Structure 1
Amino acid sequence: MVEARNPASTHANKKTILTLFGTRPEIIKLAPVIWALEKHSDIWRSVVVSSSQHTDLLRPFIRDLKINVDHDLAVMTPGQTPNAVLSRVVEAIEPIFLKEKPDLIIVQGDTTTATAGALAGFYARIPVAHVEAGLRTGDRYSPFPEEMNRRLISQLADLHFAATEENIKILLSEGIKKESIVLTGNPVVDALHHILKNSRCSETLTNFLESTKGKRLLVLTTHRRENFGQVMSSHLKALRKFTERHQDIELVFPVHPNPSVRAVVNSEFANIERIHCLDPLEYVDFLHLLSNAWLIASDSGGVQEEAPSLGKPLLVLRDTTERPEVLACGVGRLVGHSGERLGEMLEAAIDDQSWFDTVVKTKNPFGKGDAGERISSAISSYFATHKNS
């Protein structure tokens, strides 16, 4: 549970914007939106709600990003299922709607918290705005349950903030009205630039980077549900063999706390020289680690956006991606579920300096770091055209 602040009093002539999040990726991407809303406090009354779908992973980000939480739903329970999270969030947020009387609800991405918030907003006839709208893989089960979550949110939302032109095309093809879609870029770029500009990494990470100076850092993250079991095991085997073959490689893996991930890690990476399994990093350290990477291997959606923002080549440990822009711009290469293919692509990267040179010069397809302000401006325009709503 995160510490909540006292709700703000109601202010006449101000629209109340309720922003809901529950996981680490959501708070990272919503922080620039919250900052922009609170910067314009003469127009907006900002109410921030955490579901605490994640707890330990969430707290450091709330602190580091200087976000004040008005209400904490505290839905996290051990071994929770998506159904349980969905029902608890929908039930817990209803009295907050009655108390705060929001004029708009903002959700982000594809989590169960976001789906629950959009559904609860629809039931309460409160307009819903969706940050990072229009991402699709085309496979309803990959990633699971995120792909279906975002499709559902698109059907419930009144405002769609799309990061790219491709996202807009997808929304239009699904019958979403053009006037409800706004191209904003992705606020993860805002957050990344803000953090790297205004923070330094911890002494622990500084010492680690110093100890591996002169080596090629291969940074790994993997935690997707569809990769659990044999797929993750085959990926880790390939990474272990690659690291063992190349003495100048240091593999760094901030390990997700999910027991399904840790079980495979303990099996494949135990006591292997030059493989460093770390506890989850605070976001400041994680960004500084990525910025020092030679190569990134990840199944994370967020990392697919962070890699081009940092000019780092990326091997995507998935068989589909809802961010085809990272492949189209040349920063990312899709690995699939085969450990053998991953091994081949790792070996190819050793000899492919042209890939690394191209990535550094590639224009970021996810924007230039002004998404928070673009979203705030779009909300102003929405209310200006819905004065009598």
Structure 2
Amino acid sequence: MRSIAVILGTRPEAIKLAPVIRAFRDDPRFRPVVVSTGQHRQMLDETLGAFGLRPDVDLEVMAPRQTLAQVTHRSLSGLAEQLPDLGVEAVMVHGDTATTLAGALAGFHHRLPVIHVEAGLRSGNLHSPFPEEANRRLVAQISALHLAPTPGNGGNLIREGISPDRIVVTGNTVIDALRWAGDLAGDYGDPALADLDADPRRVVLASAHRRESWEQLPEIGRALAALAEDGSVRVVVPLHRNPVVREALLPLVGDHPGITVVDPLPYLNFCRLMKRADVILSDSSGAEEEGPALGKPTLVLREITERPEAVIAGTARLVGRTTEGVLAEARRLLGDPEQYRRMAAAASPYGDGRASERTVGAVAHFFDEGPAVVPFVPGSAIDQLSVELAGSGAYAGA
């Protein structure tokens, strides 16, 4: 039995790695050891709990207002101390966070193969997103196995000199998580949203938290406030716990009658909220993947993205972060039924719900424990999955 250290620390990592951990646990060839840095404390614990998981090791690195250097240093130091005692044969990291970078470095320092889930995403700009683009490029240099969500991500790695025999295109595990979540949540998880199903207004689900967005958070907040002046629109804002985000946005959206501000919702409740929304407006990487999979037109609060597939497919659109630009694009979408229908009907390019299965198969093949994996190829299965995930009301407002 192969022991794999699965290192995570943030809510997105928990969402996307939870299906993989569950798949490892169901496979007699593997023993996953879940290691949490605790980079996102409460949100991480809630998300793992929703999947019935808990860490085997918790480094508890979170501290108020710590810098990137501090969280990376504390994560790397904790992992360096713990890894020798875990008896693992590889480390698995996900994506592009400080936890990802620290986990990959710790594995490399201990001469353990590094398995990178959600590998190969590139914006082409080292400083956008910051620091994620640099993190993912650095991790690619020391990874032994690259699990790319899309063929385009795999192509990025090949262009950077990574050998094709070290790359497997799996699809994105976030689609597996969405498929599993289904309709498990009984409500929206916050009393302020108890009337949402009966509300006739169109719902715009909005969020912004990226470090690169911090300077323009007031611009985004003013756009949301102006959008909510329309009596036919209700804006729902699950507000990130980072105090920088809260201090910038709460004065602009906290008391607006057309805006409902709630704390970050547990994962299952948030999935239900996404399904209820008519439009998603966010700078979150998860929203760029989840919105298209649910048939929700998604306006991305960024100038550039490492996830161009949904933009190319037509279900997502880059709208920037200025008040005028965000407001104009949101109003245009909500006011044009034909444009809305086109975006809602576009197929998601990110997965078919079998990414975790391919991930485990790819790791097994890496260790000569199984055959090569047939790679994920976007196609008609994605069209069907998008409809299946969206369910009834997927194209509300169309």
- Asked whether the two chains share a fold, i.e. TM above 0.5, the reply is yes
Verify the 8 A CA contact 1:75 1:89 in the aligned structure 2.
yes
3-state SS, counterpart of residue 41 of structure 2:
coil
Tell me which of 217, 221, 224 is aligned to 1:236. 221
Please list the CA deviations of residues 307-355 of structure 1 after superposition, one character each: whole Å capped at 9, or x if unmatched.
0111000110011111001101111111113211112112211222223
Corresponding residue of 1:5:
none
| Residue type at the aligned position of 1:337 | R
Q: d(CA) in 2 for partners of 1:272 and 1:94?
A: 48
Q: d(CA) in 1 for partners of 2:271 and 2:20?
A: 20
Corresponding residue of 2:52:
66
Query: Structure 1 residue runs of 4+, over 3 Å off?
Result: 202-206
Verify the 8 A CA contact 1:235 1:342 in the aligned structure 2.
yes
Tell me which of 42, 50, 57 is aligned to 2:43. 57
3-state SS, counterpart of residue 234 of structure 1:
helix
Q: d(CA) in 2 for partners of 1:209 and 1:79?
A: 34
| Residue type at the aligned position of 1:25 | P
Q: d(CA) in 1 for partners of 2:195 and 2:121?
A: 36
Tell me which of 265, 269, 288 is aligned to 1:304. 288
Gaps of 5+ in 2: 371-398
| Segment of structure 1 superposing worse, 175-184 or 275-284 | 275-284
Task: Name the count of aligned residue pairs.
Answer: 369
1:173 aligns with 2:192: no
Q: d(CA) in 1 for partners of 2:18 and 2:98?
A: 19
| Segment of structure 1 superposing worse, 351-360 or 330-339 | 351-360
- Shift in CA distance, 113/145, structure 1 to aligned 2, threshold 3 Å: same
Tell me which of 102, 113, 136 is aligned to 1:150. 136
Please list the CA deviations of residues 137-183 of structure 1 after superposition, one character each: whole Å capped at 9, or x if unmatched.
11111111111000101111100000001101110111111000000
1:274 aligns with 2:261: no
Q: How does 1:303-342 map to 2 (within 5 A)?
A: 303-342=287-326
1:264 aligns with 2:251: no
Deviation, 1:56, is: 1.3
| Residue type at the aligned position of 2:90 | L
Deviation, 1:95, is: 3.2
| Segment of structure 1 superposing worse, 118-127 or 330-339 | 330-339
Verify the 8 A CA contact 2:185 2:269 in the aligned structure 1.
no
Q: d(CA) in 2 for partners of 1:241 and 1:337?
A: 14
3-state SS, counterpart of residue 228 of structure 2:
helix
Corresponding residue of 1:131:
117
Verify the 8 A CA contact 1:313 1:355 in the aligned structure 2.
no
Deviation, 1:134, is: 0.6
Verify the 8 A CA contact 2:115 2:147 in the aligned structure 1.
yes
Please list the CA deviations of residues 116-140 of structure 1 after superposition, one character each: whole Å capped at 9, or x if unmatched.
0101111111001000001111111
Corresponding residue of 1:7:
none
- Shift in CA distance, 204/95, structure 1 to aligned 2, threshold 3 Å: closer
Q: d(CA) in 1 for partners of 2:62 and 2:190?
A: 30
Verify the 8 A CA contact 2:315 2:345 in the aligned structure 1.
no
Verify the 8 A CA contact 1:201 1:284 in the aligned structure 2.
no
Tell me which of 350, 372, 375 is aligned to 1:366. 350
- Shift in CA distance, 204/116, structure 1 to aligned 2, threshold 3 Å: closer
Deviation, 1:63, is: 0.8
| Residue type at the aligned position of 1:298 | S
Verify the 8 A CA contact 1:293 1:312 in the aligned structure 2.
yes
| Residue type at the aligned position of 1:248 | S
1:353 aligns with 2:337: yes
Identity %: 39
- Shift in CA distance, 351/113, structure 1 to aligned 2, threshold 3 Å: same
1:25 aligns with 2:12: yes
Q: d(CA) in 2 for partners of 1:360 and 1:171?
A: 31
3-state SS, counterpart of residue 194 of structure 2:
helix
- Shift in CA distance, 199/273, structure 1 to aligned 2, threshold 3 Å: closer
Alpha-carbon RMSD across the aligned residues, in angstroms, is 1.5
